[in-house]
A and B are shown apart, each in its own frame.
Chain A
């Protein structure tokens, strides 16, 4: 029974630790997908010249946060003003400076001819590559620590209770 309790506590704390570490994983996935979104948008703008809403709708995206932002953007396109709060409604994954960068990206979409838009997308891609680098190193640094720490806390609690 005691052994079962210890195992249960280790599993429970490990699960919490995994949840905390997945924050970093999700951020990395978000920026990876954002970069491939920029690449795809750039291609579509150059070749098909579809409307921006159509291009965004046709993208296959796994990151829940990015999906949410794109849906918010498409909905905002129908109305008059692109506002930061509306764009990031329901998204908690990002820091303020990242939000500002993403907001600037969406605000510039569709505003220029192909050549300028393409150039702008390339510049944004560079900036998002930097963000991805930061996220990746954060993930490498904190994810395993959080998981290990949580398992250790679980084991410690178990020992205390026994």
Chain B
């Protein structure tokens, strides 16, 4: 897919000189060197491969950025404008392209983003069994405990929940799992294997997705990525009141940082979530730092 959207000079280097399985992220900024992240480590991208020498790096032109967005939209910007309004486009394979530029606002609403200046292209990877170490701490004979996966950005939260859903099915937990794939990253437009018992609601907001999903799919477990904002938390609270279990992710580097977030205080005090999985990129993205219980006491760690 990258071949269809990237400028040829950049794609040729990635294709021939870089181990794609280690590539997490690609950053294109107008008139700046192209930066790639391999296993969480940043490098410049030069004509001959990775380099730490900025003078040898490929410089990204503004037209390149515009071309990437145009190609990522299937040569039809209008068809992805709802995504662009939210700051990203997701293309085949769950590759998410974050977009920066001029935000056009009309009547207090984002109308579109124009004059693109930088892109963050995130490459998802299926890492089989990456959730297995924490699996037994999250699942028991009664089902899946309400779990919040915590980590800073790019530390493997999405990869973790994707594998967890797959493992449920692999281990024959016949639970109806509903994945609310707001950005299309978890399911990757059908390219990621989520197992036999999984239903996916793509590109819906959590507010609408939780209501619709509970009404129509009768799930035992709802999995959602990146909680944030009052709407998301209200949707979660409503789901708890419907007797549905939830696994979600949130940006924070530790349980202490999570505790400091005002909007989460009520949820933490009510002890709705009984497991907290903390990930980091200490030994590469997806490093399991620990599993905590509802009292935020560590019950398992890997160091």
Contacts and interface: CB of A to CB of B under 8 A. Distances in A.
Interface of A: 45, 49-53, 77, 80, 109-115, 117
A80 B79 CA distance: 20
Interface residues of B, number: 13
B81 A52 contact: no
B173 interface: no
Given A51-B74, A51-B76, A110-B75, 10 more contacts: A49-B76, A53-B74, A109-B75, A110-B73, A111-B70, A111-B77, A113-B78, A113-B81, A114-B78, A117-B78
Contacts of B30: none
Contacts of B78: 45, 49, 110, 112-114, 117
Given A110-B70, A113-B112, A51 B79 contact: yes
B64 to A, nearest CB: 11
A117 B112 CA distance: 13
B8 interface: yes
Nearest to A76: B75
18 contacts: A45-B78, A50-B76, A51-B74, A51-B75, A51-B76, A51-B79, A52-B74, A110-B70, A110-B73, A110-B74, A110-B76, A110-B78, A111-B70, A111-B77, A112-B77, A112-B78, A113-B81, A115-B111
Interface of B: 8, 70, 73-79, 81, 84, 111-112
Contacts of B75: 51-53, 77, 109-110
Contacts of B73: 110
Interface of A is mostly: loop
Pairs of residues from A and B, 6 with the lowest C-beta to C-beta distance, nearest first: A51-B74, A110-B76, A113-B81, A110-B75, A114-B78, A51-B76
A111 B111 CA distance: 15
A51 B112 CA distance: 18
Contacts of B77: 110-113, 117
Contacts of A109: 75
Contacts of B111: 113, 115
Contacts of A117: 77-78
B67 to A, nearest CB: 8
A70 to B, nearest CB: 14
Contacts of B8: 80
Contacts of A50: 76, 79
A113 B110 CA distance: 12
Nearest to A112: B77
A47 B79 CA distance: 10
A146 B101 CA distance: 58
A15 B303 CA distance: 90
Contacts of B74: 51-53, 110
A115 B77 CA distance: 11
A14 to B, nearest CB: 47
A50 B78 CA distance: 9
Contacts of A80: 8
Nearest to A73: B75
Nearest to A82: B75
Nearest to B7: A80
Nearest to A118: B78
B1 to A, nearest CB: 14
Contacts of A115: 111
Nearest to A48: B79
A118 to B, nearest CB: 8
A52 B74 CA distance: 8
A52 B80 CA distance: 12
Nearest to A78: B4
A38 B190 CA distance: 33
A132 to B, nearest CB: 26
B76 A52 contact: yes
